Structure 1
Amino acid sequence: MEKNHTRKLTMAGILIATGVVCSPFSIPLGSARCFPVQHMVNILSAVFLGPFYGFSMAFITSLIRLMLGTGSLLAFPGSMCGALLCGLVFRYTQKLSFTYLGELFGTSILGALAAYPIATMVMGKEAALFAYVIPFFISCIGGVVLGAVLVAAIQKTGVMNYVLNDKSRHHL
């Protein structure tokens, strides 16, 4: 049990570091910064670590990026909603296509709607309720494609079956 916990924390740390280090690769769209790598990380965390690791990792990555000046407050709702929803979808369906759609819906719709009060009340921006749906969708679709390609490559190596079977063996 301890070995698996250490493995999950190590993988989470590597994925958080990937999200932070790749934060210069963002696309500014209005007051939002589109960050496709975070969505790829969300998918990997959903598949290999679970929804609550993914949610926590999205928060930590957003916080570090905000402190470094490479992210904005809008990263919190988008990344966290997407990570939680795609993680829950994968946990309960075990279907990758639904997981990808969960990330897309969680970020583009739920995260964008949750970003509205942050943008208007906290950041003082003028925005319509659905103002962030298109920018978040554009950011997310790129990350979903990256995540899908990476998961497909991992599946071909057989590592995915090993990790997923190891999770079920330890009831995690």
Structure 2
Amino acid sequence: MNSKVRKITYLAMMIALDVVLSPILRIEGMAPMSSVINILAGVLMGPLYATVMAVCCGIIRMLLMGIPPLALTGAVFGALLAGVGARLTRNIYGSIIGEIIGTGIIGSLVSYPVMVLFTGTKTDLYWLLYTPRFLGATLMGAVAAWLIWQQAKKISLFKDMMQVFNGKRVIR
């Protein structure tokens, strides 16, 4: 099968996993399963495809599940930095740190002005309103992603995904 077709197929699979799994264990303002998929996508697919995945998933969740724009602000920065972290360190720990910084810190801070624009009202919300929940979700997601990765990295499908997206580079 053509490499581009395989990349699109794997991307579609990760989008489907994120959309189906993100409502599981969802607490308002916290989506730890989304962090799990962002971290795994960062390691498996790199920054570009992980970010595309997060944008698609955010839009789908907003349209189908009625989730506010937090679905985008929370996931996109985390997916991008998870992919960058994985590429720089060539291991899941870089992806985890990228997700925590991207979603837990940057995404939470960007969410405040976006929600003020979305609701059309300036409230007494403060800039760090979303940070504890976003950080909590990313930390729960990071633990779950690490546990899943310990077994998933042995599966031939995941090995194939890493080779398709990362060439012959070894990711631990």
1:57 to 50, 53, 58: 53
| Structure 1 residues 114-133: aligned runs within 5 Å | 114-123=110-119, 124=121, 126=123, 127-133=125-131
Match of 1:110 in 2: 106
What per-residue deviation string (whole Å, max 9, x for no partner) do you get for residues 112-141 of structure 1? 111110112222363101111101011111
Residues 85 and 129 from structure 1, CA distance in 2 versus in 1: closer, same or farther, beyond 3 angstroms?
same
What is the letter of the counterpart of residue 155 of structure 1?
K
**Counterpart-to-counterpart distance in 2, 1:17 and 1:160:** 16
8 A contact 1:42–1:86 mirrored in 2 = yes
Structure 1 Cα separation of the partners of residues 40 and 122 of structure 2:
32
TM-score (norm 1): 0.86
Distance 1:132 1:94 in 2: 30
1:55-76 Cα offsets, whole Å, 9 max, x none, are 1111110101111125221111
Query: Deviation at 1:98?
Result: 2.2
2:32 and 2:138 in contact (8 A); partners too: yes
Percent of pairs with identical residues: 29
The equivalent of 1:152 in structure 2 is 150
Say if 2:27 is the partner of 1:27. yes
Query: 1:24·1:70 contact (CA, 8 Å) conserved in 2?
Result: no
Q: How big is the shift at 1:162?
A: 4.8
Is contact 1:23–1:70 with CA below 8 Å preserved after alignment? Answer: no
Q: How far did 1:168 drift?
A: 1.8
Cα 1:132–1:48 change in 2 (3 A) is same
Q: Which residue of 1 aligns with 2:74?
A: 78
SS of equivalent to 2:127: coil
AA aligned opposite 2:10 = M
Which whole-Å CA distance do the structure 2 matches of 1:164 and 1:104 have between them?
A: 22
Please, which runs of 5 or more residues in structure 2 have no aligned partner? none
Give the whole-Å Cα distance in 2 for the aligned partners of 1:53 and 1:103. Answer: 15
